[in-house]
Amino acid sequence: MQHVELSGTVFEMGLQHGRRLAGLIAQVIERTCQFPEKTLPAVRGASRDIEKTLSARHPNLVEEMRGIAEGADLPYEDILLLNVAYDAQGAVPDPPLRCTAIGLPDTAEGPLVAKTDDVAIEERDFEVFFRVQPRDGHAFIYYAFGGTVWNHGGINDSGLALAMTGLGPAGERDPRGIPSLLFLRQVLLRCATVEEALAFARANPLRSSGCTMTMAEPTSGDITVVEKYPAVQTVHRSSREPTVHTNHPQYEETLALPHDELWASRLGIPDLMPNSLARQENAARLVKKIPWTIEGLQQLLGNHAQSGAVCQHGRAGLHTSIAMIMVPQQRAMIAAEGYGCGPYVEYRV
């Protein structure tokens, strides 16, 4: 896995990103942005509409994408489309990520937040570890695909830890909204506490697909979970019980939304929802049995159960590309850069 350090203005960070990962970015674009010729004009048009929203509400993301394009010597329109492709596709967006997030409140090391990413086998090499020292905003470490200003999970210099899981579309879309993975990047950049993250989330709707955020901070033992869709956002806190989220909603407010039941099968992954349900059931069972420690979470993230394996090796076409554990009190991340059953390394902000 490649490691990249970015610093300076958002445009300077984009330049560094593009120059360092130009070859990888071209591969990510080739994989992610292949649309049928007859639909490409509409997708390009949707990406430009999203850009207008970003320019008005999140201009730093647009500037960073422009820097990536210049640094990689690639058309800006391709970098834009890569970053917003999941939302620009229209009625049936590809699920942003398939993953499992776990929160342990009030352990001996404070709250712990863990997660995996699950992707197609061809996408495993796209994952990159980033260390960011922006001129404006919080320093943070996180994982995302090369060429993107996404956030798959990370922790910032205030100790705010965030683990996301992707949710399919539900309810009405919001044309003023931001794509979920870009929104999640902004949370680590802009927010120092869980309360700031919740306020930021309330002020910034999503556009199409939903997401969950499992969050913790150094000053509280609680785990806070947000299920966020364009139309609804619900918040649940836990001070004693562990939390587990995969890729379907769990709370009354979000379960009440009309969900597109066909989106996974239309994408050619009909086993995606059964996979999510099985992972949820298995992880919720395991989290009550493991020690509430970093080692216990490593055991869970490397689980290979016959049904609902947390560490995925091809079921439903999914492979785990990263497993991470965030320790807010230490501003630390312990990660297996590959399958969750692999060796772990530690990073600090």
Equal fold, 2-88 vs 98-348: no
Q: Which residues pair with 128 in a beta bridge?
A: 2, 144
Question: What pTM was computed for the model?
Answer: 0.93
CB atoms within 10 A of CB 110: 20
Q: Which residues pair with 213 in a beta bridge?
A: 164, 226
Asked if 59 and 103 count as a contact pair (C-beta separation under 8 A), the reply is no
Each domain of the chain, given as residue ranges in start order, spans 2-88, 98-348
Strands 2-8 and 127-134 turn out to be: parallel
Cα-based angle 270, 85, 20 (whole degrees, multiple of 5): 115
Overall CATH class of domain 2-88: mainly alpha
- Cβ contact 15:70 at 8 Å: yes
Residue 172 CA to residue 275 CA, distance in Å, equals: 25
**Per-residue pLDDT at 271:** 57
pLDDT, position 316: 81
Percent helix, strand and coil across the chain, each to the nearest 5: 40, 30, 35
Query: Is the CB of residue 30 less than 8 Å from the CB of residue 83?
Result: no
- For residues 323 and 340, the answer to whether their CB atoms sit within 8 Å is yes
Distance CA 201, CA 228 (A): 8
Q: Is 321 left (phi over 0), alpha (psi -120 to 50) or beta?
A: alpha
Which pLDDT score, from 0 to 100, does residue 223 have?
98
Fill in the DSSP letter of residue 315.
G
In tens digits, the chain (349 residues) has pLDDT values of 999 999 999 999 999 999 999 999 999 999 888 887 888 888 889 899 999 999 999 999 999 999 999 999 999 999 999 999 888 875 444 444 589 999 999 999 999 999 999 998 999 999 999 999 999 999 999 999 999 999 999 999 999 999 999 987 788 889 889 999 999 999 999 999 999 999 999 999 999 889 999 999 999 999 999 999 998 999 999 999 999 999 988 998 988 887 655 444 444 444 567 888 999 999 999 999 999 999 999 999 999 999 999 999 998 888 999 999 999 999 999 999 999 999 999 999 9
- Smallest Cα–Cα separation from 212: which of 195, 220, 224? 224
Of 112, 327, 141, residue with least CA distance to 223: 112
Pairing assessment for the beta strands 345-348 and 153-156 based on DSSP bridges: unpaired
| pLDDT at position 170 | 80
Separation between Cα atoms, residue 73 and residue 161, nearest integer Å? 33
36 burial level (CB within 10 Å; 0-12, 13-18, 19+): exposed
Output the CATH code of domain 98-348.
Answer: 3.60.60.10
| Token pair belonging to 9 | 């203005």
Helix (H) or strand (E) holding 45: helix 40-57
For the chain, the distance separating the N- and C-terminal CA atoms, rounded to the nearest angstrom, is 18
